[in-house]
Amino acid sequence: MDHNEQRPPSQRAPRADARQNRIRILAAAHARFAVDGLAAEMDAIAREAGVAVGTLYHHFGTKEALLEAVVVDGLEHLAAYMQALLAEPDPWTGVERLLQYMAERQMNDRAFGELIGAQPTLRATTTATKRSLGPLIQQILQRAQASGQLRMDVVVGDIPLLLAGLSERTMTPATCQRYLDIVLSGLRVKQTPPAPSGLPLIW
């Protein structure tokens, strides 16, 4: 509060051990959140990272912040995958793959599943995720709608809802498959307009 403590936005390079620990913590947190969901305990994460709890709080100020760091960390992969889906020749395939991917992700990462469902909890994290992924999902959906394959009334927010059933439970691959099958079938526009072959489909 005295001297000339004008911190130029970037301080000093973090210490080597600190950098290592940060990585270890993120890995451990990811693992524990995946298995235990949002209920994962800070002590457990610390133990798995080979570090004391205090260190978690030194790096990330709070449990929620740690969670957010983990989530944001994995966000790029997700975004990249969705970007790729936009390049799919068949728009409907994009929708299929999108749901399949989210489903798989939910099965492997409990916290992920719990996050995309809940609305008001953990404002920050949820917001960050939705901000980042929402527009991409929207494009995927719109493309499939424009091609007449996806119900016109579906909106981005429907996707997490429809996938909620896959969270927090153990289910056989068969059950999971059937679930996706049903939802996808429900999302798809029913009768492809009886198009007597020979005429252009849309106009």
Partner DNA sequence: TATTATATTGAACCATGGTTCAATTTGTCA
Partner DNA sequence: TGACAAATTGAACCATGGTTCAATATAATA
Under 8 Å between Cβ of 83 and 74? no
The stretch near DNA (CB under 7 A) out of 5-13, 73-81, 93-101, 144-152 is: 5-13
Distance CA(28)–CA(17), nearest Å, equals: 16
The stretch near DNA (CB under 7 A) out of 10-18, 71-79, 90-98, 145-153 is: 10-18
The stretch near a second copy (CB under 8 A) out of 13-21, 34-42, 128-136, 165-173 is: 165-173
Q: Please calculate the CA angle 175-102-136 and round it to the nearest 5 degrees.
A: 150
Q: Does residue 190 belong to the site contacting a second copy (CB under 8 A)?
A: yes
Which of 189, 23, 6 has the alpha carbon at shortest distance from 91? 189
Q: How far is the CB of 86 from a second copy (least distance, A)?
A: 23
Q: How far is CA 136 from the centre of its chain?
A: 12
Under 8 Å between Cβ of 103 and 111? no
By a kind-dependent CB cut-off of 5 to 8 A, residue 11 interacts, out of DNA, a second copy, none, with DNA
Distance CA(165)–CA(37), nearest Å, equals: 15
The site for DNA, by CB under 7 A, has a size of 27
Q: Does residue 4 belong to the site contacting DNA (CB under 7 A)?
A: no
Three-state secondary structure call for residue 154? coil
Q: How far is the CB of 178 from a second copy (least distance, A)?
A: 6
Q: Does residue 134 belong to the site contacting a second copy (CB under 8 A)?
A: no
Three-state secondary structure call for residue 150? strand
Q: What is the contact surface with a second copy in residues (CB under 8 A)? A: 117-119, 151, 153-154, 157-158, 160-171, 175, 178-179, 181-187, 190-191
Q: What is the contact surface with DNA in residues (CB under 7 A)? A: 11-18, 21, 39-43, 50-55, 57-59, 61-64
